Chains A and B, each alone.
Chain A
Amino acid sequence: EDQVTQSPEALRLQEGESSSLNCSYTVSGLRGLFWYRQDPGKGPEFLFTLYSAGEEKEKERLKATLTKKESFLHITAPKPEDSATYLCAVQAIWETGSARQLTFGSGTQLTVLP
């Protein structure tokens, strides 16, 4: 069974205080790992897809990295507008090679204080 665990559940930062969110996963074969941002009352908004260990992707103050067991979302010098819940999801593959459905973690609620 695919499992995704995100930590911490909640994180409060001062504006400019860099930190990292963790997404640990257990899958039999990883097709892709996805990061989403979710604002209150909204649906998840796609940020990144990572495919293989060692891969990194950046967007503004966010950088996502991937190892064989976990992914990190690094937030550099965050601003209040970065406050949101960040979701991680994995897509694994069946033994036949076809892709399974996404398995989501429960998210990290990030609050950046001015």
Chain B
Amino acid sequence: NAGVTQTPKFQVLKTGQSMTLQCAQDMNHNSMYWYRQDPGMGLRLIYYSASEGTTDKGEVPNGYNVSRLNKREFSLRLESAAPSQTSVYFCASMRQGVTISNQPQHFGDGTRLSIL
């Protein structure tokens, strides 16, 4: 049972380059999330998708875009990477809709992204 799978695990980019972080879950969850984790700070929500076909901004959406490709997959795109986007990115999923549930979120093991 894979749970939440993120690819790639590591990536180094140059300023201005673009890339897409991939996330897939096999738990038939409705909601999916992208967070970033920086030293000394809690996980901060970038974007989320409460259900297939919907996406919404979180706390720190600037510089990012997302696509909910289908129920399983939720990708995060950096169009023009900046050094401030150096971070560890986590994808998470949750079974029920965010507005009606306090189910726990299940996390992938992250993508470590460095931007030079």
Chain A 3-45 interface mask (CB, 8 Å, partner B; 1/0): 0100000000000000000000000000110101000011111
By a beta-carbon cutoff of 8 Å, the part of chain B in contact with chain A is: 4, 33, 40-45, 48, 58-59, 90, 92, 98-102, 104-110
Which of A42, A46, A89 contacts B109 (CB under 8 A)? Answer: A42
User: Measured between C-beta atoms, what is the minimum distance from A57 to chain B in Å?
Assistant: 12
Alpha-carbon gap, A51 to B104, bound state (A): 12
Residues of chain B lying within 8 A (CB to CB) of residue A36: 107
- Contact across chains for B4 and A31 when beta carbons are under 8 A apart: no
Q: Is residue A78 within 8 Å, beta carbon to beta carbon, of the partner chain? A: no
- Contact across chains for B104 and A49 when beta carbons are under 8 A apart: yes
Alpha-carbon gap, A4 to B102, bound state (A): 17
Interface of chain B, helix or strand or loop or mixed? loop
Number of A-B contacts (CB under 8 A): 57
Residues of chain B lying within 8 A (CB to CB) of residue A32: 102
Alpha-carbon gap, A30 to B5, bound state (A): 30
Alpha-carbon gap, A42 to B107, bound state (A): 9
Residues of chain A lying within 8 A (CB to CB) of residue B92: 43
Residues of chain B lying within 8 A (CB to CB) of residue A34: 104-105
Q: A4-B42, A105-B42 are in contact. Are A43 and B108 (CB under 8 A)?
A: yes
- Contact across chains for A101 and B41 when beta carbons are under 8 A apart: no
- Contact across chains for A101 and B99 when beta carbons are under 8 A apart: no
Q: A32-B102, A44-B90, A49-B102 are in contact. Are A87 and B42 (CB under 8 A)?
A: yes
Q: Is residue A102 within 8 Å, beta carbon to beta carbon, of the partner chain? A: yes
- Contact across chains for A106 and B40 when beta carbons are under 8 A apart: yes
Give the 8 A-B CB pairs with smallest separation, nearest first: A43-B107, A104-B42, A32-B102, A98-B99, A46-B104, A104-B43, A106-B42, A43-B109
